Amino acid sequence: MTLNPEIRTRFAPSPTGYLHIGGARTTLYNWLFARHHGGTFVLRIEDTDEVRSTVDSVTAILDSINWLGLDWDEGPLDFEREKGPYGSYYQMKRLASYQEQVRKLVAEGKAYPCYCTREETDVVRKESQAKGQPMPEDPCRRLSDAKRREHEASGRKPAVRFIMPDEGETVVDDLIRGQVHFENRLAPDLVIQKTTGGPTYNFACVCDDHAMRISHVIRGDEHLSNTPAQMRIYEALGWTPPQFAHLSMILGPDGTKLSKRHGATSVLEYRDQGFLPEALRNYLALLGWATSDSKQLFTPEELFQAFDLPGCQKNPATFDPVKLAWMNGEYMRALAPAEIVKRAEPFLKKAGLLPTPAGPALERVAALEREKFKLLPDVPGRVDFFYRETEVTDKARKILSAPEAKVVLAGLTDLLGGLTPFSEKPLEEAIRGFCAAKTLKPGQVFHPLRAAVSGRTDGPTLFLMLELLGRETVVGRLRKTVASLGPN
């Protein structure tokens, strides 16, 4: 891959909660674009919401991106340490730089102090909306010195507003949506500095994207309406804006915007449910992007080689949990048994299967059941009966209640108790011989045998399962089942 230092993308989350599916897709697309073009991927924490930003949220975001395997070239390593030449990558540590640019705009007559309270502004906005009119000119834009002194004497602290043009339009050349036109008269003067002295989102991200040499801003479509104001700020500061690409919305299966009512929305919830990070990456990549041949499954290298913005779609993407589970199963089945056990370690520990109790090696058992795994919790859920007696399922109980089940199992107990060697081929020969001698169909023997020793009606190949369980366990469970069935 040819390195292209001019290509610089960024993901800039607000640390007010967990990393959700939409943010994860945005992270992934920025990472893929940078990797595809041999550029740089930057992670920046936009913590200008002083009330809602938390250290826990920062940690959760970093953990989520790390778990997804999306390494960043510049940005925070944790809440204290950072890497990269354009730091700090926390906005609240860059306050002085924002305030310097605000003073410059005010001095040049491109911004002004505004003493209006939020309540006053909201009243005017609602009245204008009710009349179908744009916001009127802010009264503080041409405030007299006397009125300004009056406001300051009363203790009002000013915000700073950026002057938006009153006429014409702002055109955004979007790399996904083409040209998008915005009427300037509909945009009120934008607050760029709060009364606390901190910057607003729209101003801080412009300053940081310029300072960090960001070449492409790839983000969700909810930010498209912010772009005209941001472009005007670039123009006022004499800076060249980056190229913009706004991603399609993500909908739930019912066609409404994806939310908690559709199930898990945060990345860490998917981790805790037992999804593989590479499967979630693959699935997220397809939420609004496709190759010309509609390829579905990618290795990590194939994904960043194939990804580019022309493959992104304007129309909303639908999040389908059924497809995600299918894809995760495909990735699970592609793992070596030892890797499956390694990935499932937290779930095996929770189930009491690590350290491994007496019994067959977990890797060997995982190899038997690999085709049935969809999520990591399926591993302990499907192999636990090899190490302990488990609750008998309703289907297994029904099979064991058949009139001939007790006689069959009693006969098998005697047969298997003396069988040597207790391995797959001899077991198959002996049990099939038992069927023939008793003139029973294989199903009349195989089904109650499986139900008695495993407590379920499905599972790995019967005879290898018996071999791995071992003579002592198999015969012991058969005797216990026979005793539980009572008199004939």
Backbone angles phi, psi at 317, to 5 degrees: -100, 150
Annotated catalytic residue 104: no
Rounded-to-integer distance, Cα 45 and Cα 22, Å: 16
Catalytic residue among 260, 295, 349, 441: 260
Q: CA torsion angle for 236, 238, 244, 250 (degrees, to 10)? A: -40
- Closest by Cα among 449, 364, 346 to 404: 449
> Which of the 8 DSSP states describes residue 225?
G
Neighbours of 15 (CB within 10 A): 23
Residue pair 278/300 in contact (Cβ under 8 Å)? The answer is: yes
CA-nearest of 276, 265, 218, 260 to 67 is: 276
- H helix or E strand, kind and range, residue 177: none
Q: What are phi and psi of 452, to 5 degrees?
A: -70, -40
**Do you find a cis peptide bond into 134, omega within 30 degrees of 0?**
no
Degrees, nearest 5: CA angle 228-232-233: 120
CA atoms within 13 A on the CB side of 276: 27
> H or E stretch including 147?
helix 145-153
Give the distance from CA 119 to its chain's centroid.
37
The tokens describing 453, both together, are: 């020793």
CA distance 453 to 475: 8
Cα gap 93→48, rounded to integer Å: 10
Chain centroid, CA 23 distance in Å: 8
Here the tokens at position 470 are 């071992």
Measured CA distances, 119 to 10, 150, 453 (Å): 35, 19, 71
Sign of CA dihedral 302, 308, 310, 314: positive
State the Cα angle at 69 between 298 and 50, rounded to 5°: 130
CA pair distance 484, 205, nearest whole angstrom: 70
A 10 A CB-CB count for 205 gives: 24
- Report the DSSP beta bridge partners of residue 82: 76
Note whether 74 and 89 are within 8 A (CB). yes
Per DSSP bridges, beta strands 40-43 and 8-11 are parallel
Which residues are catalytically annotated? 260
